[in-house]
Amino acid sequence: MKLSSPLLSFLVNFLLGASWAFAFAGATIFFYLFLEVNLLYAIFGAFIGALPGLFFVLLIEYFLMKNEQLVELKKQTKLLEELVSKS
């Protein structure tokens, strides 16, 4: 993904990786906590443990999608302004 500045790109990529790590760690910890009780509870606990990290992944991906949409709209606006000025 290409963002406006390299620092912003690095920050977003870092936060996205940290969110995935948080989701994986939460799923693993909750799985092993509930594994002593029952396998079904362990699987459900892993899903519950991964939810906060997955929420942050979705939030960051939404930000990236909106940013790409904004950049594309700016390009289209510039092209339309050029077309209007030529005619």
Distance CA 18, CA 58 (A): 13
The domain tally of the chain equals 1
- What is the pTM for the complete model shown? 0.81
Q: Is residue 29 part of a domain?
A: yes
Q: Is residue 2 part of a domain?
A: no
pLDDT in tens, 39-83: 999 999 999 999 999 999 999 999 999 999 999 999 999 999 999
Q: Is residue 33 part of a domain?
A: yes
Distance of CA 71 to the CA centre of its chain: 18
Q: 32 with 46: CB under 8 angstroms? A: no
CA distances from 64 to 6, 11, 76 (A): 14, 12, 18
Range of the structural domain that residue 56 is part of: 7-86
Q: Is residue 45 part of a domain?
A: yes
**Band of the pLDDT at 1, cuts 50, 70, 90?**
low
